[in-house]
Amino acid sequence: MLYDRFLGGVDDIVAVRVGTIADAVEHAQTYRPDLVLLDMCLPDGDGFDFLRWFRTQRVHAHVPVIVITHDPTTQTRRRALVNGATDFLEKPVDPVELVCRIHNLLELGHSRSELAGKADWLASEVQRATSDIRLREQETVYRLSRAAEFRDPETGMHLVRMALFCEVIAQAYGADRDVTEMIFLAAPMHDVGKVGTPDDVLLKPSRHTPEEAYIMREHARMGHDILKNSTSPLLQMAADIALTHHEKFDGSGYPYGMAGETIPLAGRITALADVYDALTSRRIYKPAWSPQDALGEIRFGSGIHFDPKVVAAFEEALPEIAAIRERHFDTPGPSIVLTA
């Protein structure tokens, strides 16, 4: 009742008095006070019990609490502060000091709320801007992939299937969500360097001569040159994939003869996904292999062409890979747009 009299004449404060810890908990579960005056002498328990509970409620985590007590000892003050008190007043309370402290803490709380609101707004703006950048990156990826696809006879649903294969293999391998998504988005750019391959080599229906094979292999380096030095992590990964998707685990691949885990994970995964889809797809120079025959070839290449750990992840993902092939089979006509 004493605090009611102190605060009753203050125009901008509405005081709600509760007499017990139980009433205080019930009120705090329904409403969010701007400030709490906590008298430690309560009829149904220690005021510290309420203070500890109050601070466990996320919605009340930053609400100021002024502890009022007869005990002025350092131990009690420390106990109050450790348990989450914002300020401390000793009885008998000076009404002018009480109102001044309440006003100061309310003003501080309102300023904090405004800052939190601005921080939330800035965070949402950053998230929106980041999302816009991400969408533009994905569009860049798609258009670069399409540029290579228009020059490559291996069109149809190859890019879609291969990207999805890479995604499920990366998941089975244990790559985290961000890496898995980035591999999915970057893998379709693996052959972007073919835009620099002469038509008479790229479109030749018969076996390449050694000189033509060398020119063909240069698409890995050219793809890397197109994509390298970007500030975008997505395009950085795409550059790695373009450069390394023809490297082999035993070091016999090209263009640099990289071996083992010196080949980036994205390149190792893309290499397997690309070969598997090529084996199980019809080409002008060969019929499609059966999934079982293609699996046998992948197993044969484990430790030679492919990372054995990636092969194991591929085998774990085979049911999903079969479902992807069933959903995204080759049909005549324009290619399907790849989206995340």
Return the pLDDT at 7.
67
- Tens of pLDDT along 5-36? 666 556 667 777 777 888 888 888 888 888 88
Q: Cα–Cα distances in Å, from 311 out to 115, 249, 294?
A: 52, 11, 12
Q: Cα–Cα distances in Å, from 111 out to 54, 63, 167, 257, 300?
A: 21, 12, 46, 61, 67
The alpha carbon torsion through 116, 121, 126, 131 (nearest 10 deg) reads 130
CA angle 180, 182, 188 (to 5 degrees): 110
Return the pLDDT at 276.
96
Enumerate domains of the chain plus CATH numbers. Answer: 2-93 (3.40.50.2300), 140-327 (1.10.3210.10)
Tell me the one-letter amino acid at 4: D
Reading the block at residue 179, the tokens are 């890496």
CA angle 289, 291, 292 (to 5 degrees): 100
Reading the block at residue 300, the tokens are 């044969």
Residue 202 CB partners (closer than 8 Å, separation 6+): 151, 152, 153, 194, 216
Q: Is 204 part of the annotated catalytic residue set?
A: no
The alpha carbon torsion through 69, 75, 77, 81 (nearest 10 deg) reads -130
* Distance in angstroms (rounded) separating the CA atoms of residues 247 and 259: 7
Return the pLDDT at 14.
74
Residue 211 CB partners (closer than 8 Å, separation 6+): none
- Tens of pLDDT along 109-161? 777 777 877 877 777 777 777 677 777 777 777 777 776 666 665 555 788 89
Cβ atoms within 10 A of the Cβ of 203, count? 12
Ranges of residues in the chain with a pLDDT under 70 are: 1-12, 130, 147-156, 331-340
Active-site pick, 91, 118, 194, 228: 194
First-to-last alpha carbon distance for the chain, in angstroms, is 63
Reading the block at residue 86, the tokens are 């914002």
* Distance in angstroms (rounded) separating the CA atoms of residues 313 and 187: 17
Could you tell me if 201 and 208 are in contact, meaning their C-beta atoms sit under 8 angstroms apart?
Answer: yes
10 Å CB burial of residue 200 (0-12, 13-18, 19+) is exposed
Reading the block at residue 96, the tokens are 């002018």
Beta-strand ranges (E) seen in 77-154 are: 87-90
Could you tell me if 258 and 249 are in contact, meaning their C-beta atoms sit under 8 angstroms apart?
Answer: no
Return the pLDDT at 9.
56
The secondary structure of 196-260 as a DSSP string is GS-HHHHT--SPPPHHHHHHHHHHHHHHHHHHTT-S-HHHHHHHHHHHHTT--TTS--SSS---G
Return the pLDDT at 155.
52
For the full predicted model, state whether its pTM sits above 0.75.
no
Return the pLDDT at 254.
96
Return the pLDDT at 334.
41
Return the pLDDT at 280.
94
Kindly give the pairing relationship between strand 36-39 and strand 65-69. Answer: parallel
DSSP state of 323: H
